[in-house]
Structure 1
């Protein structure tokens, strides 16, 4: 067994350093049209190989046989693991992690935001829960425009008017009611303890809180939440190892613990939230809170070679987009071409370009607009979208619009993956949207509110904070859910649980999940290597490909630029993956992203 694992671990290095790049028109690359979306055309050979150092880090995965939790913060992962050890199932652990992240990872973990859950039980049944935020009842389509119809900068991003009605607490209550094993009080207690007793800040925790100090004092005058000193005017900064105690948040969590959903959406917490919104000219009322409910939706299921993909339907755009990307890619011999060779990258960029154009045109809340999910993922439709592709040159994004279907017109998020001893699996992505959301802290309750209203199309054709373009399908309307890129996903291999995957990253979520999956299933990487691997991103508009330093070899860069691609090297990183892979011997490999404090815990 040790020998077989060693071979698996070293296989990517063999592929990445010795694989010769194949011609897109070579005999091995030919695929009959009946087998895929399109046929290959002989456009000449790919001319460059893969980078010699494909990984951001040499971190290795965590191996366990009885349970695995991978999340954005070591404290939250430990909470989830403790719940599994106490006899809880994957949903119990996921609920505990969600609330723990609201305490220890306030930039994205939340009770003032929302998210999506994909759940697969150990018999193969799958469920998806949409607990995305909603626009307040008083919201209007043009609420962020001035008298001339121009966007008023910043209103949908910071301050009270930027917040939608939170869904996280309702979502966790629904998930636990349907699938939980331990008591509600048990799964809430770890988060309460962390808030009441405090936890030691990591270096990243301290730096992040220090960065938002000015916003905290400006947007929350007279409050001292998340400031090191009790005086809002004090310039004292946080440091690694400082103890962060959140007394008001602990009381809020205790109300949720004792009263369930009503402990947030009614009573004292609802009153405090509504008063805070009124104080800052926000729109959310106690009635909005009382009327909020998450929605169980039918999962998207699709195949990719030997794999079944189980992912999130709209209001998330991530599931549809991921399936489109996988189906565009499937007929091409990426394994032979090599990881991030010019032809591999070119096919992936062109797929991403078309998928994000479709996202802008068609995707929105299915309770308000008719979203052609099946059509968008169909082979015939995708084949029609590929007719203008050529290996000889880049497609111009200005010439790429959403497809023609008759009758149709951040980065701070967080993801966690859980698998329990019985093989039940949960993939959850949750967010406040931007880092620390709207930066509004609810007075007396101690938690951040989201700025998810920016995920609507504030004005058709005008980009949001992530540069994403939207249209009428995602226009603001009262009680409507805003579109999301979150892509929590579970894969089966030969009908058995294989992978739990997801990431934060705003508009880059979809492409990071896409690449991480391909890194395992096409390039033979372990789960941790797939997370470590350097990444790139294209989203239709703006028409450029951003990439992590080292993701492309010099030869690949030159070849792509010669074909007309605009490339931009990032000074930061892409993705914060937290994933679990089922290894051939049945053990679990937990993979957490080395780009931040992400941590996997297993036993």
Structure 2
């Protein structure tokens, strides 16, 4: 059959399309929606059903905070490894008009906590007492955090935001292969630490596609839906928490629950090559550390050196070494300890910290101590990034600490308790479960918030929203966010490319570079080994979830392939 002649209009359109594709026009240059980019909003989080819950709220007219509340409670159902009612976290908020705020809903030490509560009579740490016992849990902050966030910024009715999680708990949801594997892998601990309870247990184990129904958790969520804060910190749920504490001879009381309140704090603001960094203040160490890291490398030509080249890696590692040394001494709960924020963020101080860096050899961590300044007075979490139609954005990281927290369920309520008390310095100079070393600034005191590495962050460019980013990962959170920001700004990666890129990590002590498989090529490793750098292979580093606003106004998501993370937009 003879083909119809091509019109001049078709020729022009085809030529424009070819030109567009070769010029990178898949990022929206023709003003049309392309795969993975959306105009009206986006949710990126750790589990597909939770992402869907958030997106549904956006489509109903909810804003980013409304969607965040829905996602938080949905993750408590679908992502028990880290999503939670019994944990805490941080929120960084930026309105469409550029106003910023941060919410600290980090857990607090119970009122009966003592500095040496995890030490034996000889002053040695009692193994696992701060990890897998009823003594491991701080007072949860997640529910109050969501209540406070909604009260200040929410639009839709509270009950409508909690209901999706209730539906997921009572009706069930399909398990992914990863979730089934994680629960099966920790089954022995669930059985050992929860006599008489059957939560997350199944004879023969779980498999992909199984429907997980959690009736007690669903009814707990119904109380939160109907009574808000009082549905958790008072009444039946609070009584169940205290009963659970008494069962395991823990120290959290009804008064601890009733006295817990999230705190609004001023964000840490920094700059990097014209970009504005909006991030979390103490008791998160992440915001200060992130700004320090960016300022430490700002003067080096990373773009010219290239992604994960030997020079790039060397500068990043040396910056991380120094920043984590500062973290060990100066960062803690600002309500209990005077954190020298201005001194730590002083550009002259940060650049001075890099002064003893030498290209020909690694700087031993034994030669690096926390910095000093005049006038100073002595890996489980989850993250979600959301942007709504108007351009309001939230970056929230929330945690139980270890995967499945303390592994202790609140009997009758169906949710896991955290083991965040391990994030305190149980003994100065002795590392916690993530190998992080701390001192007096992060010592245990009653009602004090433990130091965190969580680094929820929002980035602006030219006064406009540019990026929303964060990750779980314990000690690696800070460096994962740092490298993801650099991947976009310096190495021109898409949001998905920046999130998927292989990562490495250094935290001062131990003095080694932990790297994912194939993060660095053999020649790069060899060059750095010759200079004295030590490398350790490890599994996945972080699970970054981010959103980038492209120059054409679209939202482009990055969902970490290291997990079940899912990006959805409209």
1:450-461 aligned within 5 A: 450-461=418-429
Aligned match of 1:576: 543
- Paired with 2:473 and 2:113, the residues of 1 have a C-alpha distance of 27
Task: For residue 8 of structure 1, report the CA deviation from its aligned partner.
Answer: 4.5
Secondary structure in 1 matching 2:93: strand
Alignment of 1:541 with 2:509, yes or no, is yes
Counterpart contact for 1:64–1:589, Cα < 8 Å: yes
Query: Which secondary structure does the structure 2 equivalent of 1:216 belong to?
Result: helix
Q: Which residue of 2 aligns with 1:599?
A: 566
Q: Distance in 1 between matches of 2:179 and 2:158?
A: 28
**Could you say if the C-alpha distance between residues 599 and 477 of structure 1 is closer, same or farther in structure 2, counting changes exceeding 3 Å?**
same
- Is the CA contact (8 Å cut-off) linking 1:61 and 1:591 kept in structure 2? no
**Can you list the C-alpha shifts for 1:234-265, whole angstroms capped at 9, x where unaligned?**
xx210111111000001100000100101100
Post-superposition Cα deviations, 1:513-550, rounded to whole Å, max 9, x if no partner, equal 00000000000000000011100000000000011111
Please name the residue that 1:142 is paired with.
Answer: 116
| Shift of residue 5, structure 1, vs aligned partner | 6.8
Gaps of 5+ in 2: 1-15, 28-33
Shift of 1:383: 2.5
The whole-number CA distance in structure 1 between the counterparts of 2:562 and 2:130 is 29
Partner Cα distance (2:321, 2:74) in 1 = 37
Which residue of structure 1 lines up, in the alignment, with residue 289 of structure 2? 321
Q: Secondary structure of 2:543's match?
A: coil
Q: Quick check: 2:88–2:140 contact (8 Å CA) kept in 1?
A: yes
1:305 corresponds to 2:278? no
1:104 partnered with 2:72: no
Could you tell me which residue of structure 2 aligns to residue 168 of structure 1? Answer: 142
Cross-structure match for 1:418: 386
The CA deviation string for residues 263-303 of structure 1, in whole angstroms up to 9 with x for no partner, is 10000000000110111011110100000000000011111
C-alpha change, 1:245 and 1:400, in structure 2 (3 Å) is same
Matched residue, 2:301: 333
- What is the aligned counterpart of 2:128 among 149, 154, 165? 154
Q: Which residue is equivalent to 2:324?
A: 356
- Displacement of 1:380 after TM fit? 1.6
Alignment correspondent of 2:377: 408
Residue equivalent to 1:588: 555
Question: Take 1:595 and 1:450, find their aligned partners in 2: how far apart are those partners?
Answer: 23
| 1:518 maps to 2:486 | yes
In 2, the alpha carbon distance for the partners of 1:492 and 1:511 equals 20
C-alpha contact 1:337 1:344 (8 A) present in aligned 2: yes
Equivalent of residue 119 in structure 1, options 93, 103, 127? 93
Q: Does 1:292 align with 2:260?
A: yes
Aligned residue in 2 for 1:29 = none
Report how far residue 554 of structure 1 moved: 1.4
Q: Does 1:492 align with 2:492?
A: no
Q: For 1:70, what is the secondary structure of its paired residue?
A: strand
The match for 1:84 is: 58
Residue 6 of structure 1: how far off its partner (Å)? 5.7
Contact 1:8 1:525 in 2 (8 A): no
1:112–1:168 CA contact under 8 A, matched in 2: yes
2:152 is paired with a residue whose SS is helix
The 1-side partners of 2:291 and 2:363 are apart by: 21
The aligned residue for residue 197 of structure 1 is 171
Alignment partner of 1:430: what SS?
A: strand
Over 3 Å counting, the alpha-carbon distance change for 1:584 and 1:10 in structure 2 is: closer
Normalising by structure 1, we get a TM-score of 0.89
Q: What is the total number of aligned residue pairs between the two structures?
A: 547
Judge conservation of contact 1:492–1:499 (CA < 8 Å) in 2. yes
Instruction: Give the superposition deviation at 1:63.
Output: 1.4
Aligned residue for 1:239, secondary structure, equals: coil
Kindly indicate whether residue 216 of structure 2 is the aligned counterpart of residue 248 of structure 1. Answer: yes
CA distance in 1 between counterparts of 2:298 and 2:270 reads: 12
In the TM superposition, what whole-angstrom CA distance separates every residue of 1:160-203 from its partner, at most 9, and x where no partner exists? 11000000000000000000000000000000000010111100
User: Deviation of residue 4 (structure 1)?
Assistant: 5.5
Q: 2:521 pairs with 550, 553, 566, which one?
A: 553
| Contact 1:61/1:592 (8 A) holds in 2 | no
**3-state DSSP class of the match of 1:382?**
helix
What corresponds to 1:186 in structure 2?
A: 160
Helix, strand or coil: the match of 1:84?
helix
When residues 573 and 61 of structure 1 are mapped into structure 2, their CA distance, relative to the original with a 3 A threshold, is: farther
Give 1:441's match in structure 2, choosing from 400, 409, 429.
409
Cα shift readout 1:15-44 (whole Å, capped 9, x = no counterpart):
xxxxxxxxxxxxxxxxxxxxxxxxxxxxxx
After superposition, the CA RMSD in angstroms is: 1.4
> What is the alpha-carbon distance in structure 2 between the residues aligned to residue 6 and residue 565 of structure 1?
41
Cα distance change of structure 1 residues 90 and 148 upon mapping to structure 2, 3 Å threshold: same
SS state at 1:428 partner: strand
Q: Is the Cα contact below 8 Å between 1:9 and 1:525 reproduced in 2?
A: no
